[in-house]
Amino acid sequence: MMCAQHRYLVLWTSSVAGSGVPVMHCAAFTTCCSALWSATEQFPHHTVTQLVRMLSITQWWKLLSMTKTTLTSICFSSTACKDIPSDIFFLTDSSESISEEDFQKMKNFTKSVISKSSIGLDKVHVGFMQYSTNRRLEFDLTKHYNLEGMLNTIDVMEQMNEGTRTGRAITEVSQYFDAARGGRPWMKQWLVVITDGKSQDSVKEPAHALRAKGVVIHAIGVDKANRKELSEISGSSQRVFIENTFDALKELETKLALKFCEKDCKKTTDLVFLLDYSSSINQDQHTIMLNFTASVVDNFNVSKEFAHVGLAQFSADPKHEFYLNTYNDKTKMIEHILNMNYKGGNTYLGEALDHIRDYFHESNGGRRDVPKNLVLITDGNSKDDVEDAAEALRKMGITIFAIAVGDVYYLQLLQITGTPEKVFNVENFDSLANIKTKIIDEICDTVPEPKIGKLEKRDVHD
Ligand SMILES: *[C@@H]1O[C@H](CO)[C@@H](O)[C@H](O)[C@H]1NC(C)=O
Ligand SMILES: *[C@@H]1O[C@H](CO)[C@@H](O)[C@H](O)[C@H]1NC(C)=O
Ligand SMILES: *[C@@H]1O[C@H](CO)[C@@H](O)[C@H](O)[C@H]1NC(C)=O
C-alpha cells in the first residue's frame, strides 16, 4: 500500500489549556499509519479529525486535505484491526435475480473483506449463510478459525437461484450469534446483509429482534435494492451502503472492513449519568436501566486519562452514587452500578438537574477542556420546572442527552436537551438496547470543534 513506502509529516492543532489559542504541532513518521495512531495516543483528547493536514514527503511535497475517513482508508492495513476480536456473519442474497457473474463478484467482495480481518481462535470469527427462498448455512462461527478454510468454502459455494426471503433469513441466522451456537455475545457482533432486491417477506421485526440482542447490522444493497428496506434491516441509514453495480462493491471493501475496526470509544470525556428511580418505574425496569447504563459505560476507557464517569439517581430527592473521580477502574464501577438500590417516589427532575451541576466541578473530578456529557434516563414528567436548571448546565458547556422511556412529555425533554437531536425516545425498557450504539457514538462525537490552522494549498518539489 502506498502508505508504507513514504514518509509523512502530520500537522495538527491543539489549544493551550484554557486559553483557546491554537498551537500547531507537527511530527514526521515513516508510515502514515503509525502517524495516525501515535498522534492519537500522544494526544488522546485530540482526535483524528484534528489531524488537519498531512504532507507526504516523497518526490513531491503534496499538501493533502483529508477527512478522517480517507486518512484512515489510506492507512488501513491488514494489521490495523488485529487487537479487536469480534464475530462477523455474512448473509448473502443468492436469489435468481443475480447473474452468475454478479454472484461471483459478491463472493469476491466477501472474500476480500474477510481477508482484511484478523481471523483466529481468539480473534475474529466469521460465519456465512446464503439465502434465497430457503437458507443454506455455509459455515457457522466455530467452523473455521483460519482464513483459508473460509475462502475455500466460499469459492465452491453454489447459487441457490430462488426467491428473496430476507426476513426469514435474518431470523434463521440470529441463533448463531448465541453462546450456545458458538457466538461470543460479550464481544462486538456484526451481521452483514448483502442483497440486490426487495424482500418477499418483512424484514423489520426480524432485524429489530436481532439488533435487540446487540448485533450491529450493516446492510449492503446492490442494483435495485430498496433503501427503506435496508434501513429497516440496519436500523440506521449510517449502516446502509448502496451500490449501483456489483463492480462498485470493490470500493466498499476497505470501508466495510474499517467498520469492523471501530474500537471502543477511546475519547476523553467527563460523563455523568442521572437515572430516574421514581415509582413509575418498577424494579425490573430499574434493573434493565442499570444493565443498560453498565453496558454503555463498558464502551468507554474508564481511566485517569480518558473517561471519567459519575452517577446519581433521583426521584423526589437526588441520591448520590459516585463522582467523576471516585473510580479509575471500570470493573468496580460496573459492579457499583449493577448493585444500586431502587427507591420509588415522585419525579423532581428540575431539582435533580440542579443537584448534578456539582458533579462536573473540578473538586469532583471534572476536567477543563474535556467534553462534558450528561445522560439522563427517565420515564416520567417532572413535578417541578426543568428549564432553568437544564439551561444552567448547557451554559457550562455540558451536552445533555435525554433518554425517555414510554410516553413522556416531549416538550419537557426538549427544554432539557435544547435540541431534538439529543432526545431519544424508546417505547419501553426492553428497547433501550437498540439505541445503545447510537448513544455511545453520539457521546464519542461530542468533541469541541477543532481549531484548525489555515494552510495554503501548494505543490513543491522535493
Ligand atoms: C474474482 O476474483 C478473482 C481472483 O481475484 C478474479 O480472477 C475474478 O475475475 C473475479 N471475478 C469477478 C467476476 O470479478
Ligand atoms: C441484567 O444483566 C444480567 C447479566 O448480564 C442478566 O443476568 C439479567 O437478566 C439482566 N437483567 C435484565 C432485567 O435485563
Ligand atoms: C485505557 O487507557 C489506558 C491508559 O490510561 C491504556 O493503557 C489502556 O490500554 C486503555 N484500555 C483500552 C481498553 O483501550
173 and 108 fall within a common domain: yes
pLDDT band at 165 (very low <50, low <70, confident <90, very high): very high
Residue spans of beta strands (DSSP E) within 182-234: 188-195, 216-222
pLDDT digits (tens, 9 = 90+) for 433-446: 778 877 887 787 65
Q: How many domains does the chain have?
A: 3
Per-residue pLDDT at 267: 66
404 and 428 fall within a common domain: yes
pLDDT digits (tens, 9 = 90+) for 171-229: 999 999 998 999 987 778 899 999 998 999 999 999 999 987 778 899 999 988 889 99
- Average predicted confidence (pLDDT) for the chain: 79
In angstroms, the CA 446 to CA 264 distance is 15
Q: How far is the CA of 108 from the centre of ligand 1 (A)?
A: 6
Beta carbon of 362 within 6 Å of any ligand 3 atom? no
Q: CA 159, 161, 166, 169: dihedral to nearest 10 degrees? A: -60
Beta carbon of 430 within 6 Å of any ligand 3 atom? no
Beta carbon of 301 within 6 Å of any ligand 3 atom? yes
Q: How far is the CA of 288 from the centre of ligand 2 (A)?
A: 7
More confident residue, 263 or 15: 263
pLDDT band at 261 (very low <50, low <70, confident <90, very high): low
* Residue of 229, 256, 258, 277 whose CA lies nearest to 380: 277
More confident residue, 227 or 273: 273
Residue 264: inside a domain: no
415 and 345 fall within a common domain: yes
Q: How far is the CA of 301 from the centre of ligand 3 (A)?
A: 6
Residue 81: inside a domain: no
231 and 244 fall within a common domain: yes
**pTM for the structure as a whole:** 0.51
24 and 137 fall within a common domain: no
Residue 111: inside a domain: yes
Q: Which helix (H) or strand (E) covers residue 402, if one does?
A: strand 398-405
Per-residue pLDDT at 228: 92
3-state secondary structure of 142: coil
Q: Which ligand is nearest to the CA of 112?
A: 1
Work out the end-to-end distance of the chain between its first and last CA atoms, rounded to an integer number of angstroms.
21
Residue 208: inside a domain: yes
* Residue of 328, 309, 395, 380 whose CA lies nearest to 349: 380
Residue 152's domain is classified under what CATH number? Answer: 3.40.50.410
41 and 127 fall within a common domain: no
- Of the residues 108, 155, 222, which should be mutated to test ligand 1's pocket, given the most ligand atoms within 8 Å of the CB? 108
Is the pLDDT score of 393 beyond 60?
yes
152 and 50 fall within a common domain: no
Beta carbon of 162 within 6 Å of any ligand 3 atom? no
100 and 241 fall within a common domain: yes
Sign of CA dihedral 124, 130, 134, 140: negative
Residue 196: inside a domain: yes
Residue 134: inside a domain: yes
- Of the residues 291, 338, 428, which should be mutated to test ligand 2's pocket, given the most ligand atoms within 8 Å of the CB? 291
Beta carbon of 284 within 6 Å of any ligand 2 atom? yes
Q: Which helix (H) or strand (E) covers residue 23, if one does?
A: strand 22-29
Per-residue pLDDT at 265: 55
* Residues sharing a CB contact under 8 Å with residue 208, sequence separation 6 or more, in sequence order: 235, 434
In angstroms, the CA 27 to CA 31 distance is 12
Beta carbon of 305 within 6 Å of any ligand 3 atom? yes
281 and 412 fall within a common domain: yes
Of the ranges 200-204, 242-246, 310-314, 457-461, which one carries the lowest mean pLDDT score?
457-461
Residue 13 lies in domain? 2-76+450-461
Residue 162: inside a domain: yes
Cell of 22: 491554537
Residue 284: inside a domain: yes
Contact 132, 157 (CB under 8 A): no
Among residues 259, 292, 324, which one ends one of the domains? 259
- Of the residues 267, 301, 334, 370, which should be mutated to test ligand 3's pocket, given the most ligand atoms within 8 Å of the CB? 301
pLDDT digits (tens, 9 = 90+) for 364-386: 999 988 889 999 999 878 999 99
3-state secondary structure of 182: coil
Ligand 1, residue 108: give the atom nearest the CA: 1
Per-residue pLDDT at 188: 80
180 and 297 fall within a common domain: no
pLDDT digits (tens, 9 = 90+) for 61-96: 222 333 333 334 434 433 344 556 789 999 999 999
What separation in angstroms does the CA of 399 have from each of 119, 179, 384, 445? Answer: 39, 37, 21, 11
250 and 198 fall within a common domain: yes
3-state secondary structure of 393: helix
228 and 95 fall within a common domain: yes
